Chain A
Amino acid sequence: MRGRTLLIAAAVLALLVALPWIGVPIPGLFERSLDAPGTLNVLALCFVFGTLALSYDLLFGYVGLLSFGHALYFANGAYVFAIALTRWHVGLPAALALTALAAFLLPLALGAICLRMRDIPFAMVTLAFAEAGSILVMQNPLGLTGGEEGLALSADALPAALVGVPNTHNLYWIALALLIVAYAVARRAVDSPAGHVWQAIRENERRVAVLGLNPYGFKLGAFVLSAMIAAAAGVVYVLLQGGANPQITTSGFTLALLVMVVLGGVGTLWGAVLGGIVYEYLDFRLVALANAPVLQAFPAVVRIPLSEPLFLLGLLFIVLVLFVPGGFGGLVRRRAPAAP
């Protein structure tokens, strides 16, 4: 059983790597053939959100920390990277180094404060900090963030291979690599001794404390690791979108993340990845649906809800929470014979 799972995973992976060379159209799923830059861009964004959802699952699904401010750490990676490249012109390696530093320090500082709280107060403080971040970006301090306009990457700041529509396949591979590396890191982390402590904290924090372990340090470690993965996803996001935009700093964005993880199933990692990919894909396809001519024929009562992707995703989310608490992952596990 385990061998077969590995085999399937390897096959899927090989297919994904080879995708830019496969010029087959898949009618219904994508408007253009698989190797078209548009399709690759969508898929790459799906991988970015899969990674981001994975990082959120690490926190929520494994440590039981319900953060409402995770968007901040994604935006942290995206904006620091974009600012270092376009405003400070430090070059790609230095920009990456700066981003890595910020990706480590910001969650360390804020997590140290937030984790003084538990449960819902924790959720509220994370929300408040993320809101502060969002306000900061919107205010465009020193002209760094571009405010509401967002911050476009200048093409000359990047190697030629990462710029332009014909090079989309390179970005696609980077996004795929990001997802694979993030998954491997997260998997190792949750299977490590520290990962076991995280899951024990999720089940019963007091019992962990009684065992003489300090939950605070473990939680902070998970918080920082999760935020760093989110920041890495933010960097690739900026490359794919050609810049950073303030939408990724909003509380709405964090809520979308929550939807992704619950969609895919909490506490499995792969479920969250799937949730992130499906969410992003649905979001993209539902926008297409909103603009479909067929829809215009319907009366407003039907047309308006159907042309709002967020309404449909929100509805799907509510239905899942009410009736399928485990998400997609839960559905699969329920079907499968009891795992050992």
Chain B
Amino acid sequence: MTAYIARRVFAVLPVMAVVALFVFFLLRFAPGDPAAIIAGDDATSEAIAAVRAKLGLDRPMAEQFGLWLWGLLHGDMGVSIFSNLPVTRLIAQRLEPTAALTLATLFVSVAMAVPIGVVAAWKARKLVDRLVMGFAVLGFAVPGFVLAYVLIYFFAVQWQMLPVQGYRPVGEGLWPFVEGLILPSVALGITYMALIARITRASMLEVLQQDYIRTANAKGLATDRVLLLHALKNAAVPIVTVIGIGIALLISGVVITETVFNIPGLGRLTVDAVLKRDYPIVQGLILVFAAAKVFLNLLIDISYAFLDPRIRY
């Protein structure tokens, strides 16, 4: 098992290296003159030269790469073009709301979708199952931000049960914190829930046809025991895989959801950076989001070893 985990951890390195090279070369090989575009439409040639110097684009490519890599390995992701603040600090300041929203969504989605999928598989081809599958098809089609506005319209504007937007840190009390996260996490999690529910149902259906399930039923075990202990445990690997795949969906969605709900997290930082064409921030955010995704997927890979002792590759 240690060897398996070690191999998984080392497999992360080339992926992150490619991500880092990608953001480095994207700026250097973008069509046109990125420095001119970042400086703005009516920038003077001095202003463009200043941007170029700030991004280090005026040096030889090899030197640029060396400096950039050296900084990156020391946690230095450059400075923002507009505010001149270090990108690392800007990201650290905005990390909490995004982490809270992503983890809340992850938790809510898994906690809701897995039971829904289990019930659908148990009652396969009955009304409950058809409703769940219908929900799953819709969940793939409705964009998170459109659903967000539908939810806001009913729960916040019409019925005034939940806040329209905003984020309260956990330090201001648990309920205000939770209250502000309910609508965003449902809106963000809808596609994710649909995905997990669908895979849970499919994986459970396959397991429920196995002989040992028939044996368990035949010897008179209670249904919930058979479903949860015998079936779900053996159906877990595909479910966990898709939970990992879906993290990419969550991270892409978080940028948009934060904009809808005015949550001051990394997503908002991204949008502000794009509007000001502040490439160092965008570059830092890509590295952080990709690292988060790779790290969560690493945890999932490692969990396989515990879920299914046969897995060793």
A-B interaction: no
